[in-house]
Amino acid sequence: MKKHEQDLIAPEQYELHAAPAYDFSMNRRKFFSVLGSGVAVAFTASNSLGAALTDTSTAPEDQVNAWIHIGEKGNITVYTGKAEVGQNIRTSLAQIVAEELMVPVDRISMVMGDTALTPYDRGTLGSRSIPYMGPQLRKAAATARELLVNMATEQWKADRASLAVADGVVKNIKTGESIAYGGLTKGKELLKPVDDNVQVTPVDRWQVAGTSVPKVNGVSFVTGKHQYVSDMKLPGMLYGKILRAPAYGASLVSVDVSAAKKMKDVTVVHDGDFVGVAAPSPHAAGEALKAIKAEWKTTPQPSRGEIFDYLKQKSGQANGRDSNVKGDVDNAYASADIKIAQTFYIDYIAHAPLEPRAGLAEWKDDKLTVWTGTQRPFGVQEDLQQVFHIPKENIRVIQPDTGSGYGGKHTGEAGIEAARLARDAQKPVKVVWTREEEFTWAYFRPAGVIEVKAGATKDGIVTSWEFHNYNSGGSGIETPYNVASKKIQFHPVDSPLRQGSYRGLAATANVFARESVMNDLAIELKMDPLTFRLKNLTEQRMKDVLEAAAKAFGWNNMKPAQGHGFGIACGTEKGSFVATCAEVAIDNESKEVKVIRAVTAFECGAIINPTHLENQIQGSVIQGLGGALFERIDFKEGKILNPAFSRYRVPRFSDVPIVETVMLNRKDLPSVGAGETPILGIAPAVRNAIANATGKKLYTLPLAPNGVEV
């Protein structure tokens, strides 16, 4: 792991790192080869797997050639282990490289998320691509540019100061000589270390970065030509299906696969708790799966109705994790003029990426290639190594641009399952999860219980802040407001449902609870909620987004119409800042909450791509509306009761309000990620707007799956 990668594993992160569910025995041949030779033979992935463009995987990460290759014709290939899952990072990173190499962005092709071709990467998560991969590629590209100029200087025996670079060509201003990049490299590797102190293009001189470059490969998506993993097909490929347990916590007692095994061209695998089939068509695989008789033993599992008591009871009641204590919070609370003590309840929700999990696996001798839609291709490689007991060098994981993740695809289940089936079938196997499988066996945003006790002076100064989060996680748990006495703790729980990362992680829950309480304190104080927030903040960047959102919304000069309400909320995570103002209306008849308008101000340093940033902000707000208003996983005795889009409501066109964005471009600050934080403001802003409209203060996420009784 690189040093810069280590630095960014924030202690409050609660990213899923669940071990794979399977542990498969070695196959016989492998078993003998290990025993027989006594030495595992390692070889580089690129020459073993073929199709390698260039051997970047073995280039040290501090070398330019690990990241960038310039072909003889001037075509530029960039290698990064990051995954494109819809955040349009392929475009933003290409812009950053194009800027430093001074070429148009279409000269660049990005090789991403391929363990054989790209440098190691811990995963596409935590909004880290822009703040960490961005500077890495920027420095590599700038170093490459300087190398090219040096090469031209030597070749022409010229004065370096008289050389200039433009459009992929080095020119000698004095002599008029010019040479293209490809002519300098002749396609050879740039074997020089990345210069940490190289001069990069200052933000105010950006020409490609900072502009609205359209989505790279856009045509392949609007024509249906892009091949997601679920679309891929290899010669002789079989379709795999897996026998699933009837409920969480169930174990296989007995299984009879004899009838399935007799079916034509069907491969059946029974290995521990793993039972799966592969057949030449999905239909045949489905028939084979139906022919399997299995007996399961279930164990008592909590249901949704008791989940909050369960989480509270099962949590370590001690000091919890990430404990932050300052001053004497009990005393401060006791002596506060205004007090609020409130408990919030957060349901499990599903990411429900429109492309369910998919994996395609092919073995050639002892070497395995897996194509899978994951945010952690290198993580899946490690999982496969662990599950199959084979050297990592024999495993290549490739992640084609994927049908979204939102933090929900940190794992590689379908790829592992496909690989297990393919090993016995001795043919490539593809496993595509059904929607029901995706809703049931992927992982959820954690449910949680949050207890808050807050006190303020009658002048509107927050003096005490006690905040306990049970299970949902520590992200965004810290308060950005100035408080003399505080106690903030996260209490982990062993969740009954499989849970993990979500967009913004637990910050969606923590910011919701905090901003609700801040709103209610302002109501108690009869203060304007914006004024109250500003009064208790010193962080200028937070104040800036609050004021920008309020201004664009018209917070100070508009009154809500009858039956309507306004709400405001703010949050910060991963170095960026968000504030959202929302207007809601309650339908007189259905009591349904309709969000009329949402204005979100966001600041993430210097903006790399304004149109894609706007798209991320709008998308976060709209996705966030689902978790705010109606999304929740219902479950009983370990069974998911609503594993379908017809029973799990997600935002649709009719739910979409007027979504306005204000992007604060801080060219003086480093660019940070934008795929997560913009989701934080919408739920509490809507909640506070409902309180404003109806006087009704809600304490649950989702807020109003069945409307609000007024």
Partner 1 sequence: MELLINNKKYTVEPHQDESLLSVLRHQLDLTGSKYGCGEGACGACTVLINGTAVRSCMTKAESAAGKNITTIEGLEKNGKLHPVQQAFLKVDVFQCSYCASGMIMSAVSLLEKNPKPSTQDIMRSMQGNICRCGTHPRIVKAIQEASKV
Interface ranges with partner 1 (CB under 8 A): 85-88, 212, 214-215, 218-219, 221-228, 230-231, 233, 239, 281-283, 351-356, 401-404, 406, 432, 434-435, 611-612, 615-616, 618-623, 644-646, 650-654, 656, 659
CB atoms within 10 A of CB 39: 8
CB of 598 to partner 1, least distance (A): 11
SS3 455: strand
Cα(476)–Cα(101) distance, integer angstroms:
37
Closest distance of CB 220 from partner 1, Å: 9
**β-pair partners for 486:** 326, 465
The type of residue at 146 is E
What DSSP letter does each residue of 637-662 carry, written as one string?
A: TTEES--STTTS----GGG--EEEEE
Nearer to partner 1, 285 or 454 (CB): 285
Minimal distance, residue 631 CB to partner 1, in Å? 11
Q: Cα separation of 517 and 468, whole Å? A: 13
CB of 653 to partner 1, least distance (A): 4
CB of 205 to partner 1, least distance (A): 25
| Nearest-angstrom CA–CA distance, 47 and 54 | 10
The DSSP 8-state label assigned to residue 499 in this structure reads B
Q: In the bound complex, what is the minimum distance in angstroms from residue 585's beta carbon to partner 1?
A: 16
Taking 3-state DSSP, the helix, strand and coil percentages for the chain, each rounded to the nearest 5, stand at 35, 25, 45
- Shortest CA distance to 43 belongs to which of 367, 474, 385? 367
Q: Could you tell me the end-to-end alpha-carbon distance of the chain, in angstroms, rounded to an integer?
A: 55
One-letter amino acid for residue 241 of the chain: K
Q: Give the whole-angstrom CA distance, residue 411 versus residue 17.
A: 8
CB 430 within 8 A of CB 282: no
In 3D space, the residue among 132, 134, 125 whose CA is nearest the CA of residue 85 turns out to be 125
Q: State the minimum distance, in angstroms, from the CB of residue 679 to partner 1.
A: 9
How near is the Cβ of 435 to partner 1 at its closest, in Å? 5
Q: Which is nearer to partner 1, 223 or 254 (CB)?
A: 223
Q: 534 vs 467, 484, 518, 530, CA distance in Å? A: 21, 16, 11, 6
Report the nearest approach of partner 1 to the CB of residue 650 (Å). Answer: 6
Q: Measured in whole angstroms, how far is the alpha carbon of residue 551 from the centre of its chain? A: 31
